[in-house]
Chains A and B, each alone.
Chain A
């Protein structure tokens, strides 16, 4: 059983976990860095403890500091949130070794699902389609043979990489031969490993992910999908469900295959399987996220399930307590990530004091945020200020509520990306549902903002 949790994260997710603890009757201690002394989660927690300086490497990323904080505050579990230490199997193992419960998959499961290349092989063996690709590349002649087999255009990817770093797209054998040595030296510099592989490049794709939950007893359910195709520079800014790009049958089939594969592969706790979906509706598995995700509220709005509370209960060893037939998917939900960044200036991140804040309300409106009037947004961390989630019985109604809620949202003192969300909701590609992951980067945010001005 878990009775007192150390929340080893910051911002809105620390607050979200705190709220889940409160509803479960669990005490919550917030671990914060010096820069987050006045963060809302630290102020509202049953107890708060400073674990290090603003530099995340010495606070939120320091496994010894986090575990030590849990021990001196009498906690019996640690919730890592997302990012930071949330998918670090060595950390999960150290937490267990100190007699504490890690809120997430066990270290063995995290280790098994850590390498992207291995996970793709593992889940392909359990029936998930993956993007056609090569094994690790040898010399130039062998690389060219592999590329011809995969089919141009191809994406050259570092095996040790992540987060879109070091990837290059090439359209011909000549380009590939020229770029290989550059990719190798870049990969060596960035990851200390120059191993490369190829993947077929999907020109116009969508990013669709399936939420799953599996208890320790091998009982798993899917909680449907989320469409995260609205991105800027490979980072999601708007997520919705159901995916407007897929048929009901297609969505059901993808979700059922996903949960079947991860249960068979021994996954545990909440997780998300990410897929690229091509213009013909074919889905290819790309990676799994072994943690709670930023966009989890989209799923909560449709299913009525508290994902963070469920994650804690699974980690505490409780069975799911429901079956797939109990999981509903009602209506349509959209999440807008409200970031302290300027869409008119290449999404440049900002910091400062929130001088005025008005949060939206009304039916089907939820605002998850750690912001308050007088809050100083520290410059050290990511720019997420909050998440506005709207729900409607239909996509049209969700869009209408989204516009109303975004218009009500007032944040003064720091520049936010609210304008780009309003512009998206007015744009034809978004309203029609016909868009791909490169929508914002191809057209440019400025063009969206200008178009919205004219309407």
Chain B
């Protein structure tokens, strides 16, 4: 497409315009989207404004229930290589705070709960199982820590790689009590 440009092809004036646009979006739009994300039961909000494309995603585990991860929008309708601002709705997954990792489903099947949220686990421990035609496969803890949340309900269908539980790692400063 003739209007398609690689980021490196853009002139200094265009780049300055981009930065101006990003700043404007970050100041006005993103806080509004974050607020909407918090009030609505959504995992992700995505809007387009002209060439701009903004997606705000709730960090894994901070919401009541996340969306199925695979329902992506058609990439052909997105601005091909136009500027895109992606902001995290919270700083939980940044440097501040303890490390969090997600335990993923090893297969596609029926979810069977194991340990409840609040359980302390070691890396490799079974958190839950996924039933593949009668064979129970373990969902294991990725790190030592505390199970903060288990997403699926008993009997839910889950896909391969689906996020099953959020585990919050023990803080690096050997504090055995953690914060749970």
Contacts and interface: CB of A to CB of B under 8 A. Distances in A.
Contact of B108 (A69, A356, A374): A69
Contacts of B109: 68, 72
Contacts of B158: 72
Interface in A334-363: 356
Contacts of A50: 70, 108, 159-162
B96 interface: no
For the residues of B in contact with A, the DSSP-based class is loop
A372 B159 contact: no
Interface residues of B, number: 22
A37 interface: yes
A48 B71 contact: yes
Given A43-B74, A69-B108, A64 B135 contact: yes
A374 B75 CA distance: 7
A67 B107 CA distance: 12
Given A43-B74, A48-B70, A356-B1, A72 B80 contact: no
Contact of B110 (A48, A72, A372): A72
Interface in B1-35: 1
Contact of B76 (A34, A37, A59, A373): A373
Interface string A302-343: 000000000000000000000000000000000000000000
B135 to A, nearest CB: 7
A59 B76 CA distance: 26
Contacts of A69: 108, 159
B157 interface: yes
Contact of B70 (A42, A373, A374): A42
Contacts of B107: 52, 65, 68
Give the 3 A-B CB pairs with smallest separation, nearest first: A72-B157, A50-B159, A50-B160
30 contacts: A34-B160, A34-B161, A37-B70, A38-B72, A38-B75, A44-B74, A49-B157, A49-B159, A50-B159, A50-B160, A50-B161, A50-B162, A51-B159, A52-B108, A52-B160, A59-B160, A64-B132, A65-B107, A65-B108, A65-B132, A67-B133, A68-B107, A68-B133, A72-B108, A72-B109, A73-B157, A98-B133, A372-B75, A374-B76, A375-B75
